[in-house]
Structure 1
Amino acid sequence: MVLVAESMFVRIPALAARHGAVNLAQGVFDHGPPAALLRALVAAGQNEGAHQYAPSAGLPRLRQAVALRTANSPDPDTEVTITAGATEALHCALFALLQPGDEAIVVEPAYEQYAPAIRSAGGTVVPIRLTDVDGSFADLLAAVCTERTKVVVVNSPWNPLGRALTSDEWAALAELARQRGIVVVSDETYEHLVPGEHRGVLDAIPEPELRVKVSSVSKSFAVTGWRVGWAVAGPELTKRIRAVHQYVTFCPAVPLQHAVADVLADDFQVVGEVADGLRERATWFAERLTQVGLSTSVAASPFYLVADVGMAADAWCDRMVVDEGVAALPLSVFYSAPVSTVDTLVRFAVCKRQSTLETAARRLAERLS
């Protein structure tokens, strides 16, 4: 049995609640979703058929809507699987791809779900630790590959950094897949929150059986609690993912699938409204951080801000949540071993109401000005 420590996304919010702190540590909204999504949910609730099991692979109309909004038009019947959030899609993909003794590369800083999922599937985590958060991992991939390497897990746009992968990083991943048959699993949960056209794994790697795209509506629709996500892969790999999925959740909540299908198909502009609101508030908060001496800038995906606090970030975060009433995360928690070049960096989640950010900004100003 694989034992893991308590998640930082459980511990820190609990600590924030205990001390009455503004929770900018966790990427969860403190407001509801767009009105169009709520209307779709009400309509779904009045559909008698929406309260029973759906096909394990997902509602056909939702798979069609996902395919409509996905690069390269995957086949909704054979290449799209609806899951209980992107987290389940990630787990199902890794269990489909890894056997005990296989290795999976994870590029750090990395979201905490990746390593435990790999270990649960029997794989060994091989980290690449980016020491310069503005740098590229393209030239680091080949050196860590062995004959046991089966998977690379990446995240674009990248939590916690907020940036999309660069063209040279995608090119290096595509070369690795083509030359060595390694499957690239790309978590693209934040894909619709970047300006312009998102370029992801389906664009970068043409071979359908050598890439898996994982995504969800959690961030783009401001519904982190709905747990509606999906995996997109080639037909043969999709069969393997579905074989795992059917014994995990069988199918996500059916009324929520109906509501998401409606909005993805007919009201997709609400995603732009969510993204615009995030960017506006992130820009405002970045300016306030700069005013109190914390160097930061708004990344392509405005969900998070990374700021330099000028001292040991773990101690700074501990003091801020207990004494000053603002919770954030040191960037070091996204690494599996110490990296001295990120010791002073902190991640703020800015997916909050304007009033929430104003309270956080005021508390920080009182302490730091």
Structure 2
Amino acid sequence: MHLNSRLPHVGTTIFSTMSALAQTHGAVNLGQGFPDFDCDPRLVEAVHRAMAGGLNQYPLMTGVPALRQAVAAKIESQYGHTYDPEREITITAGATQAIFTTLLAIVHPGDEVIVLEPCYDSYAPNIELAGGRIVRVPLTPGSYRPDFALIRAALSPRTRAIIINTPHNPSATVWSAAEMRELAALLEGTEVLVISDEVYEHMVFDGQPHQSVARFPALAARSFIVSSFGKTYHVTGWKVGYVAAPAALSAEFRKVHQFNVFTVNTPAQHGLAAYLADPAPYLELPAFYQAKRDLFRAGLAATRFKLLPAEGSYFQCVDYSAYRERCGDLGDAAFCEWLTREIGVAAIPVSAFYATGSDAPIIRFCFAKKDETLRLALDKLSRL
């Protein structure tokens, strides 16, 4: 039988490849973005109580009411925008499902969706599966900041949406309030929707606030905000997230969501609702991850890697140009493989976040690890 692939150019992701290589060589895996430490035991206990209490059947398609109410309260307290938990908050099976469902809900064949490269690797396949056309706009080389002149030039009568991501994966840049206002001004008078990937919203450093689109009424009115409990609470394997959007947009999102996944793990939702009653875990998260960032950056300062700014998320990008004499003039993917085999530390090549690769000698480390894991990695990297 011959199967005509819907995604003929898609293979195994670089994350799976590098994780497998790290396992084969016993390397410290600073590639794939997930913690190697446990979540708060209180969260596990809250989910266990829900299970033991018989909360194990289908919840509402839109999500457990208590969790939607808690999410709406958190957004209002953090960003000053009020969402109706009944009509404007939907619980999802993680952020990737939320983005895919959003695209399926709003994109028709031939519609254009702008993505800012480098970007998370699910965006483009999701757009293709929805029948849309991907319009790639590069972020400013070196700084990875949005170039609004290029975004303006990319807009057309066929533009259906733009996907933005702050804090940004892979570069760890964070959009400013001025950049959000410039985006709002650029889209004024258009029908372009915004998909705002804010899964690292509670990992913004050095006293900066996270500039959610919810802070800007003109953007909030046209935006789907996507966030992730997995990222915030160190439970990436639970795959629970949410979408916040105006009622009319949420109604279209839910039409697809009900046939895409229908609903999400019931006891996990109840446990998260109870845990959200205490804001301390997410309010303390910036300091928690900033300490890890600072530990990691201090160790890298003793190497010849050139550190790029890390304003948010749990990633650190570095320029490895100074090591080209040591390992040969390797591209970033080959350098990551060499680093894993020869030095014992796995990283991710930033070229993997571009459609056609990148010539820049930049790789990405994840510092969402135990301090002892980071110190072990730094010890190995110091031998370079």
Same topology, TM > 0.5: yes
Which letter maps to 1:175?
A
Q: Distance in 1 between matches of 2:98 and 2:357?
A: 29
Deviates more, 1:204-213 or 1:248-257: 204-213
Q: Distance in 1 between matches of 2:142 and 2:84?
A: 36
Shift, 1:99, TM fit = 0.4
Shift, 1:273, TM fit = 3.7
| SS across alignment from 2:230 | coil
Q: Distance in 2 between matches of 1:121 and 1:190?
A: 25
> Any conservation in 1 of the 2:173–2:309 contact (CA below 8 Å)?
no
Paired positions, count? 363
Q: Distance in 2 between matches of 1:154 and 1:35?
A: 33
> Any conservation in 2 of the 1:326–1:364 contact (CA below 8 Å)?
yes
> Is 2:14 the counterpart of 1:14?
no
1:231 corresponding residue in structure 2: 243
| SS across alignment from 1:215 | strand
1:305 corresponding residue in structure 2: 316
Q: Distance in 2 between matches of 1:127 and 1:302?
A: 23
> Any conservation in 2 of the 1:215–1:231 contact (CA below 8 Å)?
yes
Query: Superposition pairs for residues 278-317 of structure 1, below 5 Å?
Result: 278-296=289-307, 299-310=310-321, 311=324, 312-317=331-336
> Any conservation in 1 of the 2:213–2:220 contact (CA below 8 Å)?
no
> Is 2:378 the counterpart of 1:361?
yes
Query: Superposition pairs for residues 1-369 of structure 1, below 5 Å?
Result: 1-3=5-7, 4-48=10-54, 50-70=55-75, 71=79, 72-134=81-143, 135-194=145-204, 195-206=207-218, 208-264=220-276, 266-296=277-307, 299-310=310-321, 311=324, 312-340=331-359, 343-366=360-383, 368=384
Which letter maps to 2:110?
G
| SS across alignment from 1:179 | coil
Shift, 1:208, TM fit = 4.8
Which letter maps to 2:375?
E
Unmatched tracts of structure 2, length 5 or more = 325-330
> Any conservation in 1 of the 2:31–2:347 contact (CA below 8 Å)?
yes
Which letter maps to 1:114?
Y
Q: Deviation string for 1:131-153 (max 9, x for gaps)?
A: 42314322211101111110000
TM-score (norm. length: structure 2): 0.91
Shift, 1:316, TM fit = 1.8
Which letter maps to 2:15?
F
| SS across alignment from 2:236 | coil
Which letter maps to 2:60?
P
| SS across alignment from 2:318 | strand
Which letter maps to 1:277?
F
> Any conservation in 2 of the 1:151–1:183 contact (CA below 8 Å)?
yes
> Any conservation in 2 of the 1:282–1:302 contact (CA below 8 Å)?
no
TM-score (norm. length: structure 1): 0.94
Which letter maps to 1:354?
D
Which letter maps to 2:113?
A
> Any conservation in 2 of the 1:286–1:297 contact (CA below 8 Å)?
no
Q: Distance in 2 between matches of 1:138 and 1:167?
A: 14
| SS across alignment from 2:259 | coil
Q: Deviation string for 1:51-96 (max 9, x for gaps)?
A: 0000010000000001011130200001101000011111111111
Q: Deviation string for 1:291-321 (max 9, x for gaps)?
A: 0111215522150001111144223211011
Q: Distance in 1 between matches of 2:228 and 2:47?
A: 17
Shift, 1:277, TM fit = 2.4
| SS across alignment from 1:112 | coil
| SS across alignment from 1:69 | helix
> Any conservation in 2 of the 1:138–1:168 contact (CA below 8 Å)?
no
Shift, 1:14, TM fit = 1.4
Q: Distance in 1 between matches of 2:240 and 2:177?
A: 29
Shift, 1:196, TM fit = 4.6
Change in CA separation of 1:205 and 1:144 when aligned onto 2, cut-off 3 Å: farther
Q: Distance in 2 between matches of 1:163 and 1:205?
A: 23
Q: Distance in 2 between matches of 1:232 and 1:117?
A: 19
Q: Structure 1: which 4+ aligned runs deviate by more than 3 Å?
A: 272-275
Q: Distance in 2 between matches of 1:232 and 1:12?
A: 33
Aligned-residue sequence identity (percent) comes to 35
Change in CA separation of 1:42 and 1:178 when aligned onto 2, cut-off 3 Å: same
Deviates more, 1:75-84 or 1:295-304: 295-304
| SS across alignment from 1:218 | helix
Unmatched tracts of structure 1, length 5 or more = none
> Any conservation in 2 of the 1:137–1:169 contact (CA below 8 Å)?
no
| SS across alignment from 2:299 | helix
> Any conservation in 2 of the 1:139–1:172 contact (CA below 8 Å)?
no
Shift, 1:332, TM fit = 1.2
Shift, 1:275, TM fit = 3.3
Q: Distance in 1 between matches of 2:150 and 2:215?
A: 22
> Any conservation in 2 of the 1:294–1:307 contact (CA below 8 Å)?
yes
Shift, 1:2, TM fit = 1.9
> Any conservation in 1 of the 2:176–2:211 contact (CA below 8 Å)?
no
